[in-house]
């Protein structure tokens, strides 16, 4: 059973083909380039790659406007190149999950071209239409401040089509059984080519049935069970990783009462409170967020992350807490986006090696599976001169040569960062690989450490009372083994006392240092913590 739950002790690496590695010199990343860097990911300790969309696309939204679900965009190679990549990944023991973008298609998809040709067209009911402009035509935008509407008039038939995202991304009508059948066919195709699951984009919007003029659409959570059942019949250990930024009380609907929904879900809620704690040092709201999102050990699992390919969304925080995060990490208007987020990479947001290490130590020790973004292992920066989310989508910085080792082309899909502290001349893989004290080598050690602690992914956890408001202490137990992680978010050293559990005589063996801490006569451990310090222990019963 543990092997089938491989995702509980995995380390997932998120990357976008177009900005990772260009092998043919056209300025755009491709599968051949990714194959050339698989040994790097293997050495880093990554065992699962999450690929952003790579299918044929007009590319108006970073590939999330899919034009053909069954192919590879020629910019990235061919279907044969994909199969070759999967073969190489399998040889290295690396699993692959890919984006499943089925809330909407591109307006250039043949289905939509047919649907808009006539009100009687065969694919008309594959999309969501209204004969008159709905009263809520300008409500519910995913990109407020940039997006103008969620219903747009189609000139060919005079009707309005629904789109949660941009107008060039019309929503599929998932309440049409034929659409859901096609979604299963798409899943089956890529499973047959060897993928180990899907990161399901915009899950809530797949489940809703928009009604013109109605604000609260009906949600059909049984569609997740349909997808789950199909997935398990085709590939017993494949997984669904859902993107759903929802409140804690809604999460059970997505996981399912009997774990019949999606296997994993990004914990946006804890992510937002983690950044509040990083900004202020106050752990109380984070502790509450962890308790509010507690999932019993079993099949369901959270996926934890710090930054991803989008903005840092902090919309779930109360106004006063959100303002504290903006003040600390995105104080200038051009750093903010959509009235809810921050469009910066992790390293420039946090500003110091100590805080970066603290943040990643926290993320890797939270209940669930860690997901890291390409380039964060070397502390890549952002380019705020680029529009919207493109600020955090610059090419991977492999070396100090021109083009950052990403490409030899004179013009790149996005410009590399070539100025300032985070330029590729200063921040790159080649230099950090040779430096024993580099962030890259530290991250490699952290990944190895996380894999040595399956208790985090598989076991029960509890918050320990550290008695200091800046300190978070957690203990995990599984199969008679236990580990403990302690983090100090304060800017001053502290000393804390933690209890040995169940009155047992215990010892803490430091997993990052050659140190052990014995319990005293009162069965308490005295632990010293540096400013922004973190410590991982294995608990030994004497």
- By annotation, the residues acting in catalysis are 201, 243
CA atoms within 13 A on the CB side of 97: 29
Q: DSSP state, 249?
A: G
Q: Where are the beta strands (DSSP E) in 328-425?
A: 336-337, 341-342, 369-373
Q: Where are the beta strands (DSSP E) in 361-493?
A: 369-373, 460-464, 471-478, 481-488
Residues 303 and 266 sit within 8 Å (Cβ to Cβ): yes
Residue 15, φ and ψ in degrees, nearest 5? -145, 160
Q: CB under 8 Å to 101, separation ≥6 — which residues?
A: 53, 64, 66, 201, 202
3-state class (DSSP) for residue 16: coil
CA torsion, points 164, 167, 173, 174, in degrees to nearest 10?
Answer: -50
User: Phi and psi at residue 531, in whole multiples of 5°?
Assistant: -60, 135
Cα separation of 397 and 185, whole Å?
Answer: 37
Spatial CA neighbour of 371 closest among 510, 242, 277: 242
Radius of gyration of the chain (CA): 24
Q: Is the separation of the CB atoms in 399 and 428 below 8 Å?
A: yes
In the chain, DSSP finds a helix count (H) and a strand count (E) of 17, 24
Cβ atoms within 10 Å of 433's Cβ, excluding its own: 16
Cα 187 from Cα 210, distance rounded (Å): 24
């Amino acid at each position: 059973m543990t092997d089938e739950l491989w995702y509980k002790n995995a380390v997932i690496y998120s990357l976008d083909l177009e900005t990772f590695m260009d092998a043919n010199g056209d300025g755009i990343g491709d599968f051949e380039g990714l194959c050339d860097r698989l040994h790097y990911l293997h050495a880093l300790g990554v065992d699962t790659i999450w690929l952003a969309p790579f299918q044929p696309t007009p590319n108006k939204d970073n590939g999330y406007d899919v034009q053909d679900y069954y192919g590879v965009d020629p910019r990235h190679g061919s279907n044969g190149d994909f199969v070759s990549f999967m073969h190489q990944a399998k040889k290295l023991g690396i699993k692959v999950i890919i984006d499943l973008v089925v809330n909407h298609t591109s307006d250039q998809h043949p289905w939509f071209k047919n649907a808009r040709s006539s009100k009687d067209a065969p694919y008309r009911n594959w999309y969501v239409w209204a004969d008159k402009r709905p009263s809520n035509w300008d409500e519910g935008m995913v990109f407020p401040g940039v997006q103008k509407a969620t219903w747009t008039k189609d000139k060919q038939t005079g009707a309005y089509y629904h789109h949660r995202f941009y107008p060039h991304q019309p929503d599929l009508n998932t309440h049409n059984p034929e659409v859901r059948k096609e979604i299963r066919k798409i899943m089956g195709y890529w499973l047959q080519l060897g993928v180990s699951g899907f990161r399901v984009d915009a899950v809530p919007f797949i489940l809703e049935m928009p009604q013109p003029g109605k604000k609260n659409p009906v949600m059909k959570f049984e569609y997740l069970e349909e997808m789950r059942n199909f997935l398990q019949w085709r590939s017993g250990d494949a997984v669904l990783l859902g993107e759903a930024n929802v409140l804690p009380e809604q999460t059970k609907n997505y996981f399912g009462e009997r774990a019949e929904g999606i296997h994993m879900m990004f914990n946006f809620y804890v992510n937002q409170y983690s950044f509040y704690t990083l900004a202020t040092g106050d752990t109380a709201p984070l502790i509450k967020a962890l308790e509010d999102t507690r999932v019993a050990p079993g099949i369901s699992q959270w996926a934890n992350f710090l930054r991803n390919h989008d903005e840092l969304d902090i919309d779930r925080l109360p106004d006063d807490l959100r303002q504290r995060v903006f003040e600390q990490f995105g104080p200038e208007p051009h750093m903010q986006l959509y009235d809810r987020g921050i469009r910066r990479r992790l390293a420039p947001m946090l500003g110091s090696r100590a805080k970066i290490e603290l943040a990643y130590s926290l993320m890797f020790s939270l209940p669930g599976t860690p997901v890291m973004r390409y380039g964060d292992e070397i502390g890549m920066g952002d380019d705020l001169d680029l529009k919207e989310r493109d600020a955090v989508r610059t090419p991977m910085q492999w070396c100090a040569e021109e083009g950052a080792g990403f490409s030899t082309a004179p013009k790149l899909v996005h410009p590399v960062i070539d100025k300032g502290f985070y330029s590729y001349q200063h921040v790159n893989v080649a230099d950090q690989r040779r430096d024993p004290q580099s962030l890259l080598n530290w991250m490699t050690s952290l990944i190895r450490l996380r894999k040595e602690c399956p208790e985090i992914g598989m076991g029960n956890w509890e918050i320990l009372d550290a008695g200091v408001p800046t300190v978070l202490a957690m203990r995990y137990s599984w199969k008679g083994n236990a580990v403990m992680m302690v983090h100090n978010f304060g800017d001053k050293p502290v000393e804390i006392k933690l209890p040995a559990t169940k009155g047992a005589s215990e010892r803490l063996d430091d997993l990052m240092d050659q140190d052990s801490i014995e319990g005293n006569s009162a069965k308490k451990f005295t632990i010293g913590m540096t400013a922004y310090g973190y410590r991982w222990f294995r608990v030994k019963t004497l």
